[in-house]
Chains A and B, each alone.
Chain A
Amino acid sequence: MSFLTLIIVLPLFAALLMLAIPSAQRKFLKYITLGVSLIELVLAVVLYPKISFNTHSLQLTEQFDWINLQAGNLGSILVKYVVAVDGLSYSLVLLTAIVLLLASICSWNIDFKEKGYFTLFLILSSSIYGCFLAQDFFLFFVFFEFMLLPMFFLIGIWGGKNREYASVKFFIYTLLGSVFVLLVMVGLAVSVIDPYATSVSLGLVKDASLIDGETFEKLYQLIQSGALKDEGRFLVHTTDMRYATDIRNYLPHSLFGLQSGIELFSLPIRLIGFAALMLGFLIKLPSVPFHTWLPDAHVEAPTPISVILAGILLKIGGYACIRLAYMIFPEGAIYFALPIAVMGVISIIYAAMNALAMRDLKKMIAYSSVSHMGFVLLGLAALTMEGVSGALMQQFSHGLISPMLFILVGVLYDRTHDRNIENYRGLASKMPQFTTLTVVAFFASLGLPGFSGFIAEIFVFLGSFNAASTNQLLPYWVSLLAALGVFVGAAYYLWTLQRMFFGKYWLKGGAEWNEHLKDVSTRELLMLVPLAILIVLFGVYPSLFFDTTSSFTENFVNETLHQGKINLEIITKSFAVKH
């Protein structure tokens, strides 16, 4: 079994193994989970030298045919198992490995139904890795959907007081999004062909190994000339993203083909496809106004699940926007640049205002997550090198900062079972280490120079400012408005610090709480200190991150702008002819 597949299936095997362990031995479960997470991190690190980051292409590809549907006159639909890695995927796989390791340490104080918990935890890990590595839309969708079930139970069974409501809400919101994604996937399956398999089935070459550029040229000429109209049964359709991102592989008159001429809500169908995909993933990201599941899910989820949710699951939304929506429908990225940027800005400001008003510390952090994910949208919408780099960095840095914040809240909650900001005062004198770490996390999150969040946000601002002058996708006021969000962000963090940690020491719970409130334990330090170090490391030396993603980003920005403009022109032209 090769490397990437190993990363995906290792937790799954461990989960199966775990089911066989008798309940009497349940104390070993957490060590197994920890061990698996540790091995995964080692694998992710070992992966680094195997990848060449100078090129944007996908590497370490593993593929074999999985589902082959014979669809009569349509030809056949070939679904492949394809996993591969590039700079974008790698950065998120590494993040996943780090966050899951911390989450597995964080899970040590789960004290009932451990077997179910750790099994679900491992299944969840598997599907997250699968999501980031899958290069076939169908395969991605399978992982994407499958992630919901463990998450549903992890929140629903091990969550807080109102967990039933939160888990159902989380589930329904995300499923709603995935219906839109499914719709686009079906559309792509009838529009995109697999150039390799089609060349073979059309008889252009004898064997897939003999295929070269010439064959492709011949094939694309055939496709463009419409000569294949009656040869439909030889076409091999695919859901492979590598082919769906190349416009030449679309049958021109098929649903998502450039000349399809089909429109919905008086927009060309390709733009609708982009909007449907974005809608599906914006729910996951989440962006205002689809964010309301997130505060509920966070507040009710147990600490390790909050860590995974904020640290990784939200990133899948951002990742899928880039990998699927932007790369498959580049013209949508240009057409909808302003609406997406505005949604980002609204997320930044509105969620920050909400955070300002929250009394529950965890809810405040949940809203700050929404606010920070707004930067990802803004940076993406700008479609400049700086903006997209900033968006990717923001994904990574938020993936480090938000777990730290949630672990810190967990530390407090474990001791007093209360998270209300107003019930604490002057914690600095009682818990100095805890306070120091909180200050680090808060400052990192509000974007102080020296921490990774600063680099990300500054790049997003730079990018969106530049967008006004370089590619004219966004006006200046968008980025100016977004800057406002940073002020509000500073306000809620500083205000919280002042209310909870400074001043005279006072607790609502009195002596009883005082007794329980001890400073951070070694296990908690083990989770928090590495995170703090990483946050500072990437803040001081961001090239560490940019080195892995820059060639991807450069190619992504150029391709999206270039191809998007061409496609948009063709589409609008055929649209204008029709009316």
Chain B
Amino acid sequence: MNPNYSQLTNLIAEISELRAEWVLGGGFLLLILADLIFHFQKNKNATSYLTIISTIVLLIALFFNIDDLQNPVNKRLMYDMLVSTSPSALIKIMIITCAGFTLAFTSIGKYKVPNEFFSLLMASTFGLSITIMSSNWLTLLLGLEIVSLSFYTMVGFKFTKQSAEAALKYILTGALATALMLYGISFLYGFTGELNFTNPAYPYLLAEIKSHLAIFALLLATCALLFKLSVVPLHIWAPDVYQATPLPILSFIITATKITAISVLLFYWNRYSNVSFYINENLKVNWSAIIAVVAILSLIVGNFSAVSQQNLKRFVAYTSIAQIGFVLLALLPNNRFGAEATLFYIGTYALSTFALLWLIHCFKAETFTELAINARKNIVLALFLCVTLISLAGLPPTFGFTTKFMVFTALFEAYSSLSSVDPILANIYLSAFLVALATSLISFYYYLKIPYLIFIKKIESDIENQAYKMNETSMNEVIFASILVLPLIIAFFINFPNLIR
């Protein structure tokens, strides 16, 4: 038989394995077509039609992924370009849930979005799915670029001067990150002749390169992921971009991308953690040490910068830098416990961030003062806000505390088991642990500042009299808020990690 022909049949046979991605991609095209054919620009009900179509698409993709999760697979697809495993199905479920929440955000919140929003949401979900499934540098790049291109557009959806500026900043910095990644990939390919980074031998191929360029190239190739995570030193874009982004889109960007990027680091990059890279004859550097340093920097910069913020979205940006710094710590142990801690932590973070942004939207607030004044008008939502913030700060009785405890314990265990083997690395872990503890104190301050402003601080009457516009909150808004917030408490009491094991 013609070898080319058999390759083609293989590819065709594997198409059905990617059914969720096909649905998402097809949904993307369908939404564009629907918009063009039915002239939704003129139609008043356009948004609701598009929402319904997107919801159906997401539900089908969700169903397929749940099916994949229940029937564990570990398949290499498309000639080792993609890999489909049950953890990646789990992450895809989380991403699709984020996209669903984003849709709910726009429709329940009656947020005015252009019709392209829906197709781009599908495209970015598709891109994130590809990213998490990629096993080859090129597919990873492709996935990240699909995501980035959709996000560049969506960031500018307010069509103001400020949002245009933010979108441009995002494009320029993002393009730089992609360029660095490509540069790094070309080095790595040159050294190893291998593009498949999930190859078990790959880390050792890298370690055998007796040149400091190996670690340098790996760092460059990781740039795009770290950029997506907005960790220090690749964080500078985040506050400006987040500030100008519409809230529902911001909530998707923060949650879905960070979940994906962290999971890629967790599933694939953690293989490097046992490998020492050569710098010179006397000095070798460990990948874990680099992650630890990035985490420490992010914790310090993020937490200290968040203290003095006035604008809520900038505040969210800096706290997300700090939180991602914290979750990077959970990558360090490189064992099952660490992986669980990572996923639980990032999942809880995503849920609480959704809740926080949704409540900010409900209160129509831009700054802390506006938030405080408007929150006084609706006590139920204000209480929800408190719960969310307590969970973000990681205090009982919220699930944020459990996950934080998991991360700390995992790190501590890694430290104590390393202390006799590799004292230098153990000390780096210990200092990361201590920095995390110290900065979590700072985070208590700025998270709990908000309940303080709402319930305790006296507000000058002339400020209070300035009418900040806040419509009556509808029942739907409260219900959506409770869907986002109540799991944070319930999961703490029912011991969620055990339940799903």
B70 interfacial contact with A, CB 8 Å: no
How near does chain A come to B448, taking the closest CB pair, in angstroms?
Answer: 7
- With contacts A66-B495, A69-B337 taken as known, whether A190 is within 8 angstroms of B409 at the C-beta atoms is yes
- Asked if residues B441 and A175 are in contact (CB atoms below 8 Å), the reply is yes
The 3 A-B pairs of least Cβ separation, nearest first, read: A156-B456, A71-B337, A72-B335
B390 interfacial contact with A, CB 8 Å: yes
Which of B444, B448, B456 contacts A164 (CB under 8 A)?
B456
Which of B402, B440, B445, B501 contacts A70 (CB under 8 A)?
B501
Chain A CB within 10 Å, residue with most, of B335, B337, B410: B337
CA A145 – CA B390 in complex, angstroms?
Answer: 11
Interface size class of A (residues with CB under 8 A): 35 or more
Which chain A residue shows the least CB distance to B336?
A72
Q: Write 10 A-B pairs (CB below 8 A) sorted by A numbering.
A: A66-B495, A69-B497, A77-B409, A138-B405, A146-B396, A149-B390, A157-B455, A175-B441, A175-B444, A176-B441
- Extra contacts besides A67-B497, A72-B337, A74-B417 (9): CB < 8 Å: A68-B498, A70-B337, A70-B501, A142-B396, A149-B395, A152-B452, A172-B444, A179-B437, A179-B438
B413 interfacial contact with A, CB 8 Å: yes
- A-side contacts of B406, CB under 8 Å: 69
CA A153 – CA B417 in complex, angstroms?
Answer: 42
- Asked if residues A145 and B395 are in contact (CB atoms below 8 Å), the reply is yes
How near does chain A come to B192, taking the closest CB pair, in angstroms?
Answer: 30
CA A152 – CA B445 in complex, angstroms?
Answer: 13
Interface residues as binary, A26-70 with B (CB distance below 8 Å gives 1, 0 otherwise): 000000000000000000000000000000000000000011111
- Asked if residues A74 and B498 are in contact (CB atoms below 8 Å), the reply is no
A544 interfacial contact with B, CB 8 Å: no
Interface residues as binary, A166-189 with B (CB distance below 8 Å gives 1, 0 otherwise): 011001100110010011001101
CA A186 – CA B416 in complex, angstroms?
Answer: 12
Which of A71, A141, A172, A176 contacts B409 (CB under 8 A)?
A71
How near does chain A come to B417, taking the closest CB pair, in angstroms?
Answer: 7
CA A179 – CA B401 in complex, angstroms?
Answer: 13
CA A172 – CA B417 in complex, angstroms?
Answer: 33
B412 interfacial contact with A, CB 8 Å: yes
How near does chain A come to B405, taking the closest CB pair, in angstroms?
Answer: 7
B165 interfacial contact with A, CB 8 Å: no
B457 interfacial contact with A, CB 8 Å: yes
- With contacts A68-B495, A182-B408 taken as known, whether A74 is within 8 angstroms of B441 at the C-beta atoms is no
- A-side contacts of B208, CB under 8 Å: none
- B-side contacts of A189, CB under 8 Å: 409, 412
- Asked if residues B335 and A153 are in contact (CB atoms below 8 Å), the reply is no
- Asked if residues B396 and A167 are in contact (CB atoms below 8 Å), the reply is no
Interface residues as binary, B396-431 with A (CB distance below 8 Å gives 1, 0 otherwise): 110001100110111011001101000000000000
CA A120 – CA B88 in complex, angstroms?
Answer: 44
A178-212: which residues lie under 8 A (CB-CB) from chain B? 179, 182-183, 186-187, 189-190
Binding site for B on A (CB under 8 A): 66-74, 77, 138, 141-142, 145-146, 149, 152-153, 156-157, 163-164, 167-168, 171-172, 175-176, 179, 182-183, 186-187, 189-190, 254-255, 262
- With contacts A72-B337, A186-B408 taken as known, whether A156 is within 8 angstroms of B452 at the C-beta atoms is yes
B80 interfacial contact with A, CB 8 Å: no
B458 interfacial contact with A, CB 8 Å: yes
Interface residues as binary, B255-283 with A (CB distance below 8 Å gives 1, 0 otherwise): 00000000000000000000000000000
- B-side contacts of A74, CB under 8 Å: 337, 413, 417
How near does chain A come to B458, taking the closest CB pair, in angstroms?
Answer: 7
How near does chain B come to A378, taking the closest CB pair, in angstroms?
Answer: 30
- A-side contacts of B458, CB under 8 Å: 164
- A-side contacts of B402, CB under 8 Å: 67
B340 interfacial contact with A, CB 8 Å: yes
- Asked if residues A179 and B336 are in contact (CB atoms below 8 Å), the reply is no
- Asked if residues B452 and A164 are in contact (CB atoms below 8 Å), the reply is yes
Which chain A residue shows the least CB distance to B333?
A72
CA A171 – CA B495 in complex, angstroms?
Answer: 27
Interface size on B, residues (CB 8 A): 39
- Asked if residues A262 and B417 are in contact (CB atoms below 8 Å), the reply is no
- Asked if residues A190 and B413 are in contact (CB atoms below 8 Å), the reply is yes
CA A77 – CA B337 in complex, angstroms?
Answer: 11
Which of B409, B452, B455 contacts A186 (CB under 8 A)?
B409
How near does chain A come to B151, taking the closest CB pair, in angstroms?
Answer: 35
Binding site for A on B (CB under 8 A): 333, 335-338, 340, 390, 395-397, 401-402, 405-406, 408-410, 412-413, 416-417, 419, 437-438, 440-441, 444-445, 448, 451-452, 455-458, 495, 497-498, 501
Chain B interface secondary structure, helix, strand, loop or mixed? Answer: helix
- A-side contacts of B410, CB under 8 Å: 71
- A-side contacts of B448, CB under 8 Å: 152, 171
- A-side contacts of B438, CB under 8 Å: 179
- A-side contacts of B452, CB under 8 Å: 152, 156, 164, 167-168
- B-side contacts of A152, CB under 8 Å: 448, 451-452
CA A189 – CA B419 in complex, angstroms?
Answer: 17
How near does chain A come to B499, taking the closest CB pair, in angstroms?
Answer: 10
- With contacts A157-B456, A163-B456 taken as known, whether A73 is within 8 angstroms of B419 at the C-beta atoms is no
- Asked if residues B340 and A186 are in contact (CB atoms below 8 Å), the reply is no
- A-side contacts of B395, CB under 8 Å: 145-146, 149
How near does chain A come to B440, taking the closest CB pair, in angstroms?
Answer: 7
- A-side contacts of B495, CB under 8 Å: 66-68
- A-side contacts of B440, CB under 8 Å: 179
Which chain B residue shows the least CB distance to A113?
B455
How near does chain B come to A232, taking the closest CB pair, in angstroms?
Answer: 9
- Asked if residues A255 and B416 are in contact (CB atoms below 8 Å), the reply is yes
CA A146 – CA B498 in complex, angstroms?
Answer: 23
Which chain A residue shows the least CB distance to B445?
A172
How near does chain B come to A307, taking the closest CB pair, in angstroms?
Answer: 21
- Asked if residues B340 and A70 are in contact (CB atoms below 8 Å), the reply is yes
- B-side contacts of A145, CB under 8 Å: 395-396, 401
- B-side contacts of A164, CB under 8 Å: 452, 456-458
CA A168 – CA B458 in complex, angstroms?
Answer: 14
How near does chain B come to A425, taking the closest CB pair, in angstroms?
Answer: 35
- A-side contacts of B437, CB under 8 Å: 179, 182-183
CA A168 – CA B456 in complex, angstroms?
Answer: 10
How near does chain B come to A464, taking the closest CB pair, in angstroms?
Answer: 35
- B-side contacts of A153, CB under 8 Å: 451, 455-456
Which of A67, A70, A183, A254 contacts B336 (CB under 8 A)?
A70
CA A167 – CA B448 in complex, angstroms?
Answer: 12
CA A142 – CA B413 in complex, angstroms?
Answer: 22
- With contacts A66-B495, A141-B396, A182-B437 taken as known, whether A73 is within 8 angstroms of B455 at the C-beta atoms is no
- Asked if residues B498 and A190 are in contact (CB atoms below 8 Å), the reply is no
How near does chain A come to B115, taking the closest CB pair, in angstroms?
Answer: 43
- Asked if residues B397 and A142 are in contact (CB atoms below 8 Å), the reply is yes
CA A111 – CA B402 in complex, angstroms?
Answer: 38
- Asked if residues A190 and B412 are in contact (CB atoms below 8 Å), the reply is yes
How near does chain A come to B274, taking the closest CB pair, in angstroms?
Answer: 14
CA A67 – CA B399 in complex, angstroms?
Answer: 12
- A-side contacts of B498, CB under 8 Å: 67-68
CA A138 – CA B408 in complex, angstroms?
Answer: 14
How near does chain A come to B438, taking the closest CB pair, in angstroms?
Answer: 8
- With contacts A67-B498, A69-B337, A157-B455 taken as known, whether A254 is within 8 angstroms of B416 at the C-beta atoms is yes
How near does chain A come to B335, taking the closest CB pair, in angstroms?
Answer: 4
- With contacts A153-B455, A156-B456 taken as known, whether A187 is within 8 angstroms of B335 at the C-beta atoms is no
CA A167 – CA B390 in complex, angstroms?
Answer: 17
Which chain B residue shows the least CB distance to A175?
B444
Chain A CB within 10 Å, residue with most, of B337, B408, B413, B455: B413
CA A77 – CA B413 in complex, angstroms?
Answer: 11
- Asked if residues A156 and B455 are in contact (CB atoms below 8 Å), the reply is yes
- B-side contacts of A167, CB under 8 Å: 452, 456
- B-side contacts of A66, CB under 8 Å: 495
Which chain A residue shows the least CB distance to B379?
A116
- B-side contacts of A77, CB under 8 Å: 409
How near does chain B come to A270, taking the closest CB pair, in angstroms?
Answer: 13
- A-side contacts of B409, CB under 8 Å: 69, 71, 77, 186, 189-190
How near does chain B come to A19, taking the closest CB pair, in angstroms?
Answer: 10
